[in-house]
Amino acid sequence: MRPFEYVSPTNKEQVAILLGERGSILAGGTDLLALMKDDVVAPERLVNIKHIDSLRGISYQPGNGLRIGALTTIAEFAEDANVRRYYPVLADAANEVASPQIRNLATIGGNMCQRPRCWYFRNGMGLMAKTADGKSMVLAGDNRYAAILGNAGPAYFVSPSTLAPVLIALGAKIRLYSAKAAGSGVRELPLEKSFVIPKSENELEHDLKPGEMVIEIVVPPPSQDLKAASYEVRQRAAFDWPLAQASVALEMDGSAVKSARVVLGHVAPIPWISPEAAQALVGKSISPDTAMAAANAAVAQAKPLSHNKYKITLAKAAVKRAILSAAGQSAGGAA
């Protein structure tokens, strides 16, 4: 690891100034320190935000829903009584993340901002790794875990967070803050808007302005008629990244779907919202057939690379099973 400065401010107003040009925010450090040890990133200064109390806490109000402070650990989040009661799908997804040790350190803010696991990137070849003659290494090389959607290039990695798709399905918003920004400094946007597909090596996969940080995530209160579920296809039974994930939130009108959100994870450089899949469900009652139709719609636009065609099948299975499980029907699968 290269040498760096370390600062530990106690209020969020100081963060933007301390970050300067080449600083990085340090939260749980479960991702950032690994990247630094592997010399993939080399920030000159770490701004530890763990002493900023206003970023902590998790609370629920019937009218406003859930507020999750950026420093909430994944373990705290998974165990929170309100999360378990009102958003069991979130608690379940949180319990699937990594290992107990990592869940105890990793924060929600860090989970949203974690960097992709693309092996070209993690081996120091760049997020848009290129060969000497300017071709994409991912396209020419081993892309078995790469994107099948949103993969027009040059980005082929997949968005790593398994919580983001669930939060997006539930309509979560993210609040960002920078002391340098105008007015209150707070910017609120739908969570999905904070993820972008970068177009060059200099861009990030997050829409964070320099000096900006995540302060909290808010999830609207669940309506009476909400049915939500998430399904992750993992090769190992535990402590593994999903190969594909689907999170769905269905707003029901009796037995028919009034509106739907279907969000796929680990298939595109961003959490992938599928309006096609949602459309296939609206007005229908849930059955294996409608679920399958939605699953087919979700991957209709998918384009496999040389080694990842199987991920289309996995994405389909994940969508189908998430829908059936949201409707309380057995998906027949899962071991």
Ligand X SMILES: Cc1cc2nc3c(=O)[nH]c(=O)nc-3n(C[C@H](O)[C@H](O)[C@H](O)COP(=O)(O)OP(=O)(O)OC[C@H]3O[C@@H](n4cnc5c(N)ncnc54)[C@H](O)[C@@H]3O)c2cc1C
**Which residues contact ligand X by CB under 6 A?**
24-32, 49, 70, 97-98, 102, 105-107, 109-111, 113-114, 160-163, 213-214, 241
Q: Is 5 in the site for another protein (CB under 8 A)?
A: no
Q: Is 127 in the site for another protein (CB under 8 A)?
A: no
Crossing angle of helices 310-326/288-298, nearest 10°? 140
Q: Which one of 56-64, 114-122, 197-205, 250-258 is the stretch in contact with another protein (CB under 8 A)? A: 114-122
CA neighbor of 87 nearest in space, from 194, 159, 172, 162? 172
Distance in Å, CB of 97 to another protein, minimum: 14
Size of site (CB under 8 A) for another protein: 39
Q: What is the DSSP letter of 197?
A: -
* CA-only gyration radius of the chain, Å: 20
The interface partner of residue 144, options being ligand X, another protein, none and the CB cut-off 5 to 8 Å by kind, is another protein
> Does 144 help bind another protein (rule: CB under 8 A)?
yes
Alpha carbon distance 107, 198 (integer Å): 24
Contact with another protein (CB under 8 A) among 17, 152, 189, 239 = 239
Q: How far is the CB of 322 from another protein (least distance, A)?
A: 13
Find the shortest distance in angstroms from Cβ 45 to another protein.
Answer: 17
Question: Least distance (Å) from ligand X to the CB of residue 279?
Answer: 28
Q: Which helix (H) or strand (E) holds 102?
A: helix 100-105
Nearer to ligand X by C-beta: 97 or 248?
A: 97
Residues ≥6 apart with Cβ < 8 Å to 162: 93, 96, 97, 232, 242, 245, 265, 266
String marking each residue 21-40 x if it binds another protein according to CB under 8 A: -----------------x--
Amino acid found at 176: L
Does 160 engage in binding with another protein (CB under 8 A)? no
Give the H/E segment covering residue 46: strand 45-48
CA distance 151 to 178: 31
Q: How far is the CB of 227 from another protein (least distance, A)?
A: 22
Pick 68 or 331: Cβ nearer another protein = 331
Which of 141-151 are b and which e, b meaning 16 or more Cβ less than 10 Å from the residue's Cβ? bebebbbbbbb
Helix, strand, coil shares of the chain, percent, nearest 5, are 30, 25, 45
Whether the Cβ atoms of residue 115 and residue 266 lie closer than 8 Å to each other? no
| Min separation Cβ 121 and another protein, Å | 11
- Please name which of 177, 230, 219, 208 lies closest in space to residue 58, comparing C-alpha atoms: 219
The item of another protein, ligand X, none sharing an interface with residue 3, based on CB under 5 to 8 Å by kind, is another protein
Q: From the list another protein, ligand X, none, which binds 59 (C-beta under 5 to 8 Å, kind-based)?
A: none
For ligand X, the closer of residues 49 and 295 by Cβ is 49
Structure-block tokens of residue 323:
């829908």
3-state SS, residue 65: strand
Residue nearer to ligand X on the CB measure, 241 or 286: 241
Stretch that binds another protein, among 107-115, 164-172, 239-247, 276-284 (CB under 8 A): 239-247
- SS3 at position 332: coil
In whole angstroms, give the CA distance from residue 228 to residue 79: 19
170 binds, among another protein, ligand X, none (CB under 5 to 8 A by kind): none
H helices within 253-328, ranges in order? 275-281, 288-298, 310-326
Point out the residue whose Cβ comes nearest to ligand X.
Answer: 110
What is the binding site for another protein (CB under 8 A)?
A: 1-3, 38, 117, 119-120, 122-123, 125, 131, 137, 140-142, 144-145, 233-241, 243, 307-308, 310, 313-314, 316-317, 320, 332-335
